[in-house]
Each structure stands twice: as C-alpha cells, then as structure tokens.
C-alpha cells in the first residue's frame, strides 16, 4: 500500500491571500488567523506572503483568477464573509464566489482555499472568525499548505 498525505508545513510555499473589504471587521480577523497559521504553523516566510484586497466576495474569483494566471504563487487563500440579509442577494454573491473560486482552482491547477464565511447572522460570522467556532481563516490557510504538499507528492 502506498499512502500520500500532505503535512501543513511548507516553508517555501508562495501564498497569495485575496481578501474582500465588505464586512472587513470580520475579514480582518480571518486574515489574522490565516497569517498566524501560515507563519507559526506552516513556517511560511513573511516574504512569501502577498495580500490582495478587493471590494467584496463577488469579486474574489476574478482577483484569484488574475493571481493564478501570474504563475507566481503555489496557493491562494480567499477570505471574506457573506452575511444573509432580507433579500436573495446573499445567494447570488455567495454562489458566484464559491463557484468562481472552485473554477480557478481547476482551471489553473492551484489550491484555492474557500475561507469565505456564508452565514445567516453577524453572530455566526463572529463565532467563526476567531471565537467559539475557531477561525476559518486559519483553517483555510492550513488546508492550502496541505494541498501544496499533497499535490507535489502526487506529481513526483
Ligand atoms: N459582499 C460581501 O463580501 N459580503 C456580503 O455579505 C455582501 N452583501 O451582503 O451584499 C457583499 N456584497 C457586495 C458584493 O460582494 C460586490 O462587491 C458588489 O455587489 C459589487 O460587485
């Protein structure tokens, strides 16, 4: 039997974080979690991390696509928060964001983490941005490092 699995330490990985400004008070906590996970757990050096900001979650796929197209990065972490309101707007923004990011990963063969909260309330967002339900930014960061390592092994 051969088992391939990736560690979450990737000191040489070049990582781009694409982050929405909308709901920035939540997103900045996701960013703190992601940076802590990349640096303290993943041992990724500061020089290998690029942060790219965009207006909202709806714009994340296009920014991720341009980022992937440069071929300068091993992984992309998308961070944002889509919070349900009283209209169907949530479905459109969250749906396009999710679909678009998945498309970028497959089109460019690059791990793209979905660190975008899709929640019913601000309370649920706060819970997932560094309080009682953990930090989804940190989880997203560790998932791409694992993916970088596992894909490199599958390829070798
Ligand atoms: N963008 C978000 O990132 N989160 C939201 O909750 C949100 N809501 O609810 O409207 C949101 N809207 C803006 C959207 O992402 C685009 O920036 C905007 O529609 C311009 O294209």
Mean pLDDT of 110-137: 97
pLDDT of residue 42: 98
pTM of the model: 0.98
pLDDT of residue 143: 98
How many structural domains is the chain composed of?
1
Domain assignment of residue 105, yes or no: yes
pLDDT of residue 108: 98
Task: State the DSSP string of the chain.
Answer: -------S--TT--EEEEEESTTHHHHHHHHHHHHHIIIIIT---GGGEEEEEESSGGGHHHHHHHHHHTT--SEEEEEEEEE--SSTHHHHHHHHHHHHHHHHHHHHT--EEEEEEEESSHHHHHHTEEETTEEHHHHHHHHHHHHHHHHHHHH-
pLDDT of residue 80: 98
Q: In whole angstroms, what separates CA 79 from the centre of its chain?
A: 5
The one catalytic residue among 25, 89, 95, 131: 89
Mean pLDDT of 111-119: 98
Confidence of residue 119 (pLDDT cuts 50, 70, 90): very high
Domain assignment of residue 144, yes or no: yes
For residue 110, give the CATH number of its domain.
3.40.50.960
Give the separation between CA 156 and CA 153, rounded to whole angstroms. Answer: 5
80 lines ligand 1 (CB under 6 A): yes
Domain that holds residue 83: 20-33+43-64+79-88+96-115+131-155
Mean pLDDT of 27-36: 98
CA angle 139/103/77 to nearest 5° reads 25
Domain assignment of residue 146, yes or no: yes
The share of the chain scoring above pLDDT 70, in percent, equals 100
pLDDT of residue 77: 99
Q: What is the mean pLDDT of the chain?
A: 97
Annotated binding site for 5-amino-6-(D-ribitylamino)uracil: 22, 57-59, 81-83, 114
pLDDT of residue 87: 92
89 is annotated as an active-site residue: yes
Domain assignment of residue 14, yes or no: no
95 lines ligand 1 (CB under 6 A): no
Domain assignment of residue 4, yes or no: no
Domain assignment of residue 83, yes or no: yes
Residue closest by Cα to atom 15 of ligand 1: 56
Which residues have a Cβ under 8 Å from the Cβ of 89 and sit 6 or more positions away? none
For the stretch 57-103, pLDDT in tens is: 999 999 999 999 999 999 999 999 999 999 999 999 999 999 999 99
pLDDT of residue 102: 98
């Amino acid at each position: 039997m051969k088992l391939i699995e990736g560690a979450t330490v990737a000191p040489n990985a070049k990582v781009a974080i694409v982050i929405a400004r909308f709901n920035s008070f939540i997103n900045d906590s996701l960013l703190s979690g992601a940076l802590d996970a990349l640096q303290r757990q993943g041992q990724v050096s500061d020089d290998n991390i690029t942060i790219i900001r965009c207006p909202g979650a709806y714009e994340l796929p296009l920014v991720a696509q341009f980022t992937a197209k440069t071929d300068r990065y091993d992984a992309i972490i998308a961070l944002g928060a889509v919070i349900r309101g009283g209209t169907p707007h949530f479905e459109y923004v969250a749906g396009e964001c999710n679909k678009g990011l998945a498309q970028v990963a497959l089109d460019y063969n690059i791990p793209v983490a979905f660190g975008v909260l899709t929640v019913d309330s601000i309370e649920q967002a706060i819970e997932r941005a560094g309080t009682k339900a953990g930090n989804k930014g940190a989880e997203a960061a560790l998932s791409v490092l694992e993916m970088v390592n596992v894909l490199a092994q599958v390829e070798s």
